[in-house]
Structure formats: structure tokens, C-alpha cells
């Protein structure tokens, strides 16, 4: 059975800015061979869009629930994306 592709957005709230959350997310996504981006939001949350094999996307979502060591994740909201965006690699956006 072939692994299907999946694209989701993820919004992470809690103490997730200033704790290397974006860089750590990029590292995890690259290790899982996923594409997309991560950025800080004005409200203090972190926003991620990610695409790739469903199992790898699910692994990144699971990692986001913990985050890097100094993060204090309160909530992770995952929303399926209608269309599969095309990204070149996985980037940290400002």
C-alpha cells in the first residue's frame, strides 16, 4: 500500500517564540523529508504549513505537540489544506 501525500497547517500556542521553535521545526521537517514553512505570528503563536507523506506529516505534528526543550506548548491545532501547495524545501519565514 503506497503512502499518500498530506498537507496541513499547524498553529502552535504557548511559550513557542524565542525558544528555537522555528529552527527546531525546520530541522525535524528536513529530517522527515517534508516541504513547507514555519513562521512566528504577531499573536505569539507559531504557524506551520507542511506537505509530504502522510506518516511523515503525522510525525511532525506529534513532534509539534512537544516542541524543542525550552518550549511550553499549550495547544496544537491541525487543519487539512484543500490543495497541496508546492514548496521548495522547508523554510523558516520571518
| Rounded CA separation 13/5 (Å) | 26
* Catalytic residue from among 11, 22, 93, 94: 22
Kindly tell me the burial class for residue 58, based on how many C-beta atoms sit within 10 Å of its own C-beta (0-12, 13-18, 19 or more).
Answer: middle
* Catalytic residue from among 11, 31, 39, 40: 40
22 is a catalytic site residue: yes
| Catalytic residue list | 22, 40
Amino acid at each position: 500500500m503506497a503512502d499518500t501525500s498530506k498537507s496541513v497547517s499547524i498553529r502552535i500556542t504557548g511559550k513557542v517564540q524565542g525558544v528555537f521553535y522555528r529552527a527546531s521545526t525546520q530541522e525535524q521537517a528536513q529530517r522527515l523529508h517534508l516541504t513547507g514553512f514555519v513562521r512566528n505570528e504577531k499573536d505569539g503563536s507559531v504557524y506551520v504549513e507542511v506537505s509530504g507523506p502522510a506518516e511523515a506529516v503525522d510525525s511532525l505534528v506529534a513532534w509539534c505537540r512537544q516542541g524543542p526543550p525550552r518550549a511550553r506548548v499549550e495547544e496544537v491545532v491541525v487543519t487539512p489544506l484543500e490543495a497541496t501547495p508546492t514548496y521548495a524545501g522547508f523554510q523558516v519565514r520571518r
